[in-house]
Amino acid sequence: EPEVTQTPSHQVTQMGQEVILRCVPISNHLYFYWYRQILGQKVEFLVSFYNNEISEKSEIFDDQFSVERPDGSNFTLKIRSTKLEDSAMYFCASSEDFAGTQYFGPGTRLLVL
């Protein structure tokens, strides 16, 4: 069964460093998303991406965040200068169509020290 994969599973970084989180969405899906979940809190939307551009972003997704689809299979989230409050689980998701079911990856646990 096709699934969304994410790497790395864990990432520890120092405050102010750049991190890139990677995702491989399900192969025939066209819509891609990033969400995050701070420990003990709800899953929050960050950004959606379609046709090589951002279609929607939340207030959380400020100038330190960027997304890219560098090739036909990968989808990345870059945090330019990490802050302590960026520590969270980051989930990638994909869907086949606009209102379709979003399938989530296993997540990357990011810890900023």
Which residues of the chain form contacts with other proteins (CB under 8 A)?
4, 6, 31, 33, 35, 41-45, 48, 55-56, 58, 89, 91, 95, 98-99, 101-107, 109
Give the Cβ contact number of residue 49 at 10 Å.
Answer: 22
Per-residue tokens: 24: 């491989």
Sole residue written with tokens 């891609």: 32
Q: How far is the CB of 16 from other proteins (least distance, A)?
A: 26
Per-residue tokens: 108: 């990357």
Q: How far is the CB of 28 from other proteins (least distance, A)?
A: 16
Q: How far is the CB of 25 from other proteins (least distance, A)?
A: 13
Residue closer to other proteins (CB basis): 18 or 56: 56
Q: How far apart are CA 66 and CA 78, in angstroms?
A: 5
Chain-centroid distance, C-alpha 5: 11
Q: How far is the CB of 59 from other proteins (least distance, A)?
A: 12
Residue closer to other proteins (CB basis): 14 or 41: 41
Per-residue tokens: 81: 């200068």
